Chain A
């Protein structure tokens, strides 16, 4: 098991290194320096600015410095916000993004699983069709369209929750719901399929032949076996949420990483774009790793195979 984890960590570092290298050289190709942000500067002033960003060094030296800084968690200095470190900016803004992502993930998967369970238990019944419909619509409608519907009807027309900004828990409600619809749909579909397959398997018949009641069959025998494959969708779900937060934060004016990222794109603030990109890549790879490991913890078959 330890060897497996180490091996995976190794792969992770290689991938991150490749992405960092790729983004660095990409930045070199792109038009846009800190100068484009500042207004007319004299030659000396320009030189000072370039010196500050280390842009006077030859490219390999810049690359080396960038990589060394990266290992220390230093992502460079923003072009737009004078003297502000990208790492600091990201850290400041990670809170709201994490809150939204976490709430949406937890609410989404739990509701989705419930919906999927109901579907499977009342297979081909009215409730099944209802929740399947919700799942298809939820999977299909883009989160930003759903955000618009919520913002207009629940926010503007009904006035139940604030439409934008970030000043208390009630401000998290609409963006969380807008984000959660995707995990709800995915979890519901997956849970339904897995539970139906499990409920049709032989060991469920064995359990029923023992006289176990419906509740016991579904929760004691079915759920755990259906949950194991569900873990495989958690990764894509988390990544879908990361994609979603980028736009949702913008729509609801949430001061998170996504909102900052979009601003950076519109102002060509490359250090922030790169930093956020690296962060997204890191989270992506990290989540996949965690989920693979989780898989081993939950499924006794894998756990033992690894242990031996």
Chain B
């Protein structure tokens, strides 16, 4: 399969007064054409920084890509300068942001904001661009596009604004769409609408999508594959089925356990104790060890490598090592795993 995007050993740091904050510490993943990858994790786990780094949108300084490669169709985005990036942004990769209330320019008409990219990248003239804007607004489900495009963002509701943001992102038919928690700031009912819209658009266009969220419910709905991030690293990555029905990393267990589900109504929801580590000074060994009730002695000393569970499924936990004791996942997770009949349930992984 041809890879659209291949991120190798990406490190992103922020230089602050206190020292270097290592926000992303060696992230590897790839993405095929038309595929949807969800990145999940708590706030501060580095998921937003990772994707902003892809487009070089992290504020520099204090942020910088310390090392690693971002191969987009074979070209390394990490090495590109600002001028080259401007040709990529909005045209080949575009982004949908979290808060529609602040991500639109309040003093610019909505139509002009959508048109900007078209005129820049597609070299359209004003009237061509205007026509395309009407199409786009129609595509994202905004009624009466001819008139709406002449209005300012404050005349739109939150959900409608997010549709505009989606339209801006889609304007130039990007090959990769990054959605950074696109539903978090919205009301629950509107969230569902925007998710439907996203899925619909995925069908209509063949853009690959990276979907960042902390809401696992959303993940099951839209993604093909899931990457779980913790403290600047991917701790587990696999298909939706791998992650939901055969999770291997205790952190993933925690995340799944904290998600309410219909068939586990009687159970108490699980909360992961503690808070993420200070990335100014990441702990030795496994960053999750301090909060992990299944932590092994080795977690305190050495960082676990990625263990291969299956061809699609990898996890970074010492529990997958051949010497590790057999540890039972929590009951709710076991129930999930049983629910999935034919999972490849090898108990031990293969080190990669």
For B86, the chain A residues whose CB sits under 8 A away are 211-213
Distance, CA A118 to CA B95, complexed state (A): 29
With A208-B57, A209-B55 known as contacts, the answer to whether A225 contacts B106 (CB < 8 A) is yes
With A202-B102, A205-B97 known as contacts, the answer to whether A211 contacts B108 (CB < 8 A) is no
26 CB < 8 A contacts A-B: A201-B102, A202-B103, A203-B105, A205-B57, A206-B104, A206-B105, A206-B165, A207-B116, A208-B57, A209-B57, A209-B89, A209-B90, A209-B97, A210-B120, A211-B87, A211-B91, A212-B90, A213-B83, A213-B86, A216-B116, A300-B152, A300-B154, A301-B106, A301-B152, A304-B152, A304-B155
With A202-B102, A203-B102 known as contacts, the answer to whether A211 contacts B88 (CB < 8 A) is yes
Which of A205, A211, A213, A299: most chain B CB closer than 10 A?
Answer: A211
Q: Does B99 contact A (CB under 8 A)?
A: yes
Task: Render A10-32 as a binary contact track against B, CB cut-off 8 A, 1 for contact.
Answer: 00000000000000000000000
With A207-B116, A210-B90, A210-B116 known as contacts, the answer to whether A221 contacts B105 (CB < 8 A) is yes
For A52, the chain B residues whose CB sits under 8 A away are none
Contact check, B82 vs A214: say whether CB atoms are below 8 A apart: yes
- 16 additional A-B pairs beyond A206-B103, A213-B83, beta carbons within 8 Å, are A201-B102, A202-B99, A203-B105, A203-B106, A209-B55, A209-B89, A209-B95, A210-B90, A210-B171, A211-B86, A211-B89, A211-B117, A212-B90, A301-B152, A304-B152, A304-B154
Which of A214, A221, A228, A300: most chain B CB closer than 10 A?
Answer: A300
Q: Which of B85-143 contact A (CB under 8 A)?
A: 86-91, 94-95, 97-99, 102-108, 113, 116-117, 120-121
Q: Does A224 contact B (CB under 8 A)?
A: yes
Q: Does B168 contact A (CB under 8 A)?
A: yes
For B120, the chain A residues whose CB sits under 8 A away are 210-212
List the 6 shortest-distance A-B pairs measured between CB atoms, nearest first. Answer: A211-B90, A210-B90, A211-B89, A202-B102, A202-B103, A210-B117
For A210, the chain B residues whose CB sits under 8 A away are 89-90, 94, 116-117, 120, 168, 171
Task: Render A127-171 as a binary contact track against B, CB cut-off 8 A, 1 for contact.
Answer: 000000000000000000000000000000000000000000000
For A214, the chain B residues whose CB sits under 8 A away are 82
User: How far does the Cβ of B177 sit from chain A's closest Cβ, in whole Å?
Assistant: 11
Of A208, A209, A299, the residue contacting B107 (CB under 8 A) is A299
- Chain B contact residues (Cβ within 8 angstroms of A): what range? 35 or more
Distance, CA A242 to CA B106, complexed state (A): 34
Task: Render A195-231 as a binary contact track against B, CB cut-off 8 A, 1 for contact.
Answer: 0000011110111111111101000110011001000
Total A residues in contact with B, Cβ cutoff 8 Å: 25
Contact check, A202 vs B97: say whether CB atoms are below 8 A apart: yes
Distance, CA A124 to CA B17, complexed state (A): 14
Of B83, B87, B89, B108, the residue contacting A208 (CB under 8 A) is B89
For B168, the chain A residues whose CB sits under 8 A away are 206, 210
With A209-B90, A211-B121 known as contacts, the answer to whether A228 contacts B107 (CB < 8 A) is yes
User: How far does the Cβ of B55 sit from chain A's closest Cβ, in whole Å?
Assistant: 6
For B106, the chain A residues whose CB sits under 8 A away are 203, 225, 300-301
Report the nearest A residue to B103, measured CB to CB: A202
Distance, CA A207 to CA B107, complexed state (A): 13
Distance, CA A211 to CA B97, complexed state (A): 15
Distance, CA A224 to CA B108, complexed state (A): 9
User: How far does the Cβ of B161 sit from chain A's closest Cβ, in whole Å?
Assistant: 11
User: How far does the Cβ of A208 sit from chain B's closest Cβ, in whole Å?
Assistant: 6
Contact check, A203 vs B104: say whether CB atoms are below 8 A apart: yes
Report the nearest B residue to A208, measured CB to CB: B57
